[in-house]
Amino acid sequence: MFLLLENAEEKAVKYFNPKLIFVKPVLIDKNGYEYWEVCSWEKKIVSDFINNIKKDIKDFKLLKFINTKVNDVFFPKLMPGLTSKQKQAIELAIENGYYFTPKKTSLRKLAKLMAVSLATYQQHLRVAEEKLIPNAVSYYK
């Protein structure tokens, strides 16, 4: 694991709003320039973010500001606090199409793949969902 702590006066991160969603990870080029691709359900959130940055960062350049559908979203903390069994349960569900409509598998089949009882699998999945779903929608509060 690597951790970077940076102390800089001219960084966009000081204006970050939890309602901003990362479409891609922040990229930092060899000259130290940061490239943020963010969105929000509310235009005002993105506009305020941009306006705050414009006031303080002299090298700021807006490359694009468009209204579009987003197909992919980057979640830096997608699986916070999951045990290995909870992570395994949610990954199995995703990989086997449990969340598709119509479902491509059943909980019973997933429990068998994980080699646990149906009740145990349901409990692992339920607790994983309980941790993940509020984290995923916390941006919209």
17-68 pLDDT tens trace: 878 877 777 777 788 778 888 888 888 988 998 888 888 888 788 888 888 7
| Residues 115 and 68 both lie in one domain | no
Express each pLDDT in 116-140 by its tens digit.
999 999 999 999 998 887 755 554 4
What's residue 71's pLDDT? Answer: 67
Domain's final residue, options 45, 76, 107: 76
CB proximity list for 73: less than 8 A, separation 6 or greater: 21, 22, 23, 39
| Residues 105 and 55 both lie in one domain | no
| Residues 67 and 18 both lie in one domain | yes
Residue 112 domain boundaries: 84-140
| Residues 94 and 126 both lie in one domain | yes
| Residues 91 and 72 both lie in one domain | no
At residue 15 the predicted structure's pLDDT band, cuts being 50, 70 and 90, is confident
Query: Lowest-pLDDT range, 2-11, 75-84, 115-124?
Result: 2-11
| Residues 8 and 67 both lie in one domain | yes
The pTM is what? 0.48
Query: How many structural domains is the chain composed of?
Result: 2
At residue 73 the predicted structure's pLDDT band, cuts being 50, 70 and 90, is low
| Residues 104 and 46 both lie in one domain | no
